[in-house]
Amino acid sequence: METSGLPDISWENLGFNPVTTDFMYVMKFSGDGEFLSGGLQRFGNIELNPASCVLNYGQGIIEGLKAHKKHDNSILLFRPEENGLRMKIGADRMCMPAPTIEQFVEAVKVTVLANRRWVPPPHKGFLHIRPLLMGTGPVLSLTPAPEFTFLIFVTPVGNYFEGGLKQLNLVVKEEIHRAVPGGVGSVKAIGNYAVVLKALIEAKADGFAEVLYLDSVYNKYLEEVSTANIFVVKDRIISTPVLGGTILPGVTRKSIIEIACSQGFQVEERLVSVDEMLDADEVFCTGNAICLLPVGSITYMGRRVLYGETGVVSQQLFSALSNIQMGLTEDQMGWTVILE
């Protein structure tokens, strides 16, 4: 099932907004502990019971991964099994059944191939892949849904780094926290994003690109940005907040750590204080959509620290990862999946 022909779209003007593509993938939970065989449907609205658990109690998680087109017209997926594993772990925390990793990866492949005409040409962007797992069954009391839906939709988006790496200007928000110990900060739960909207809107109104959140106990250790992990570089030692239940285990984060180690860098996963960050040589963020973006400035308690031009380490790691994702260099890590 595939629609031929080129879409009526300007690849040069892609932003990061949803575009209506051809197909989406839908799979239902059978009720006996497994998901039934799913399939493609025409992209469109879905029906939800007003009493569905995802609407009333937020029982839902999301994933995000990307597909790049090569010059030979083949398509590259980046580590889809990692996203499948993360969804499975997150689903367990949210009392939800999940597709197997094999089901997840196969569904991603089928959806991308059915929408392959929407994958931007090389260097024009990528296809953003958004899997959803939702408690769609109706409930009234606070209880897991009796029915679950796994859905994947895709949309073409532009590159964040068109014309070179764009530096982020961050602000630290002390009064708003993204996650708390014992919560679901390590899960891509849909509620994790709604709680930071107020801080993010205020920050953008003040001219900042993003918000950096601190831990909710001591209010001094770095956690992450709204939709990205953070790294600090000092004397060629790369440090990033240790995963401890409040920080999302990003696939891009994991990939950057593995690349940095392979290149001989010393990487430390530990508690990183605000003071260390303000004294760093470089700071950068990682995430599925942004890949890796350097931080140009951070404002904390009215003090603004500038980091100058994009650092050598940030540039080196960005080039290494993005070249693998786009198929510009040989994938010696075995991370990419090629779709013909």
> What is the biggest distance separating any 2 CA atoms in the chain, rounded to whole angstroms?
57
d(CA 227, CA 211): 9
pLDDT value at position 333?
Answer: 95
d(CA 190, CA 60): 6
pTM of the predicted structure, to 2 decimals: 0.95
Each as own residue / partner, the long-range contacts of residues 250-254 (CB below 8 Å, 24 or more positions apart, any chain) are 250/286, 250/287, 250/288, 251/65, 251/78, 251/79, 251/82, 251/83, 251/86, 251/288, 252/286, 252/287, 252/288, 252/291, 252/292, 252/321, 253/229, 253/286, 254/82
Cβ pair 321, 255 in contact under 8 A? yes
Whether 28 is catalytic: no
Q: Does the structure show a pLDDT above 70 at 180?
A: yes
Cβ pair 66, 78 in contact under 8 A? yes
pLDDT tens digit string along 215-259?
A: 999 999 999 999 999 999 999 999 999 999 999 999 999 999 999
Element (H, E) at 283: strand 282-287
Find the catalytic residue in 66, 88, 173, 188.
188
Residue 64: which of 147, 165, 133 has the closest Cα? Answer: 133
Q: Does the structure show a pLDDT above 90 at 170?
A: yes
Q: Does the structure show a pLDDT above 80 at 6?
A: no
* Total Cβ atoms within 10 A of residue 155: 18
Average pLDDT over residues 192-216: 96
pLDDT tens digit string along 86-138?
A: 999 999 999 999 999 999 999 999 999 999 999 999 999 999 999 999 999 99
pLDDT tens digit string along 287-332?
A: 999 999 999 999 999 999 999 888 999 999 999 999 999 999 999 9
Q: Does the structure show a pLDDT above 60 at 163?
A: no
Handedness of CA 12, 15, 21, 26 (dihedral sign): positive
